[in-house]
Chains A and B, each alone.
Chain A
Amino acid sequence: MNYFQYRVHAYRYALRELGRQIRQFALMISTLFYIFLPGLISALFFGLGRIVQNDSMQAANNVIWGYLLLQTLLLSVLKPIVLDSAHRRFHLSLLPNKRKQHLADITLVLWSHVPLWMSLVLAISMGMEKVTRAPHLILFIATQVSFAIALFYRQQGVVYALVFALALQMPATVYLISINMALLLACFIKPVSFTYQPKKMCTWVFWLLYGVSHVWSLTWRFSVSFLFIWGAFVIGHERPELLHWYTPMISSIALLLWGSLCLKTAKYLKEHRLFWLSIQQYDRAVTTQHILIFCLYLLCWLISVILLNFDMYVLITLFFAPFIQWCAANKPKHLAICWGVLVMALYLLKVLA
């Protein structure tokens, strides 16, 4: 087995493991919402279509930005799998230099880049003639590649470029060139590591420090929640009469995202249980964890209420939160089914009422 064969083997193995972990959840989502899945895939292609042809400059910029954020989130999940992060030193023990390692990394990044494949499918289906009339699509594809590769080696650069892109409003071609330039410059900015050293320690401060050191867990949850709220906000402009159907679902998805944080924090607490018991703070750490996660969910819930809609069913999702959090912390295997049952019950109630 040579190095490249090893990387493919490690990639497949880690992907299978990930699939095994999310199998129950994926099965539940596809069973509950199978009718919407073709629509979701069509919506993604529809979004790409808005990049190719759009009357509004601002809308095109927003869709490009949304796609780049979406790919950043998807690839971030796959990052440790693609890089085989746990065994990077082992790689170096096999190689005289890093060239082969980078080559394998980039090949696997592109292989894993589903949004890029979708753009390529669109470009091929459009044909050469139409593509030449929409050069910003080619630029968009190149941007997808540059942001994907940068994410793996200069993550902070991607964050800076995305923040910068949020403030820009210009024609699609200029917009894409500008954010690529911004990304290039951002890659040379020295990574900043935020350090916070509080004088007094307590469980609240502990979770604050946990958040600082696991900032990505919070960032992606905020970003995905925001993407869903933003997506519903855009659809709400086109079909405001349907908004009351979307909003409980958006709140429920945000609840699942934030509730699932309890999976991680509860596992972390269990791993360090003896430490917490040794200072007699275990129960307090558990309670504080739940209060803080609820507050984070409440923040997203409030954003969705302000931007979308408020009714009794949206309010009910807030009351589901403690139950979902308890389930994630104590019965993690039942989280998906528990969330699914609650959402089904909520919509059943809405339909019957």
Chain B
Amino acid sequence: MIEIKNLNKQFANKQVFHKYHNQFSHRKTCVTGANGLGKTTLFTLIAGLDPHFSGEILLSGQCVKSLQAQVALASDKVIFPEFLTAQQILSMASHAWRCELPLSFAQQLGFTPFLDTRVGDLSSGNNKKLQLLNAIMRRTEYLILDEPSAALDKHGVDVICQWLSDFQGHVLISSHEPEPFLDVGFVLQPLFR
């Protein structure tokens, strides 16, 4: 369960969250909300990538010291250096988190031929696959996938859905086309009640 208590987050000219409370108690949740409401910002905060906020983020009722160690995020906001190859990106994450390269999952996604392609030369669909591989390979208890099906081909969406249906941890996603995810057990929950 992910619980947000009294969250305040402000950018230079915009207050995104003010005394925000929410609870994502289902293991597989699809967060809904119109563009620009703050879904990606919330995901970045939960993943521990932005320390500039006030409030509490609890995982399974506990206030954890390092959110990053327990939460992996796949998002367009995490921009990869464009001159590195996909394999180099994955090997940096593998080295940092001491985890295996997800070669078999890359094979299932049809991404293996693109491992030696530079990020700048990847299509948007393959860039999304790289983001997903980069997050999934960490095998964390909590996984956040921001728009996981955006730009993916049908086969890619099927593989991701299959993998998510077998995954035992907590998953938070956002999607404007949630149907395939609802079929594998996700529940919809609005960002703001």
A: which residues have CB within 8 A of B?
Answer: 197-198, 200-202, 206, 209-210, 212-214, 268, 271-272, 274-275, 277-281
Contacts and interface: CB of A to CB of B under 8 A. Distances in A.
Interface stretch (B7-15, B29-37, B83-91, B162-170): B83-91
Contacts of B47: 278
A271 B79 contact: yes
A200 B91 contact: yes
Contact of A197 (B77, B95, B116): B116
A206 B96 contact: no
A120 B18 CA distance: 66
14 contacts: A197-B88, A201-B92, A206-B84, A209-B88, A268-B81, A274-B75, A274-B78, A275-B79, A275-B80, A277-B68, A278-B78, A279-B92, A279-B93, A280-B96
A77 to B, nearest CB: 22
A121 B95 CA distance: 61
Contacts of A280: 68, 96
Contacts of A268: 81
B188 interface: no
Interface residues of B, number: 24
Interface string B37-58: 0000000100101100000000
A272 B97 contact: no
Contacts of B83: 209-210, 212-214
Contact of A210 (B68, B73, B81, B134): B81
A279 B81 contact: no
B30 to A, nearest CB: 22
Nearest to B116: A197
Contact of A209 (B50, B84, B91, B134): B84
Interface of B: 44, 47, 49-50, 68, 73, 75, 77-81, 83-85, 88, 91-93, 95-97, 116, 134
Given A214-B83, A274-B44, 20 more contacts: A201-B84, A201-B88, A202-B92, A206-B92, A209-B83, A210-B83, A213-B83, A271-B79, A272-B79, A272-B80, A274-B50, A274-B75, A274-B78, A278-B47, A278-B49, A278-B68, A278-B93, A278-B134, A279-B96, A280-B68
B57 to A, nearest CB: 16
Top-7 shortest CB links A-B? A213-B83, A279-B96, A274-B78, A201-B92, A277-B49, A201-B91, A274-B49
Contacts of B134: 278
B81 A278 contact: no
Contacts of B96: 279-281
Contacts of B97: 279
A275 B68 contact: no
Contacts of A214: 83
Contacts of A197: 85, 88, 116
Contacts of B80: 272, 275
Residue among A198, A213, A277, A279 with most chain B CB within 10 A? A279
Contacts of B77: 274
A212 B78 CA distance: 23
A103 B166 CA distance: 61
Contacts of B44: 274
Contacts of A274: 44, 49-50, 75, 77-79
Contacts of A213: 83
Contacts of A271: 79
A201 B68 contact: no
Residue among B85, B96, B97, B134 with most chain A CB within 10 A? B96
A4 B68 CA distance: 54
Nearest to B66: A280
A277 B97 CA distance: 12
Nearest to B88: A201
A272 B78 CA distance: 7
A240 B84 CA distance: 48
A283 to B, nearest CB: 13
A188 to B, nearest CB: 27
B81 A275 contact: yes
A47 to B, nearest CB: 38
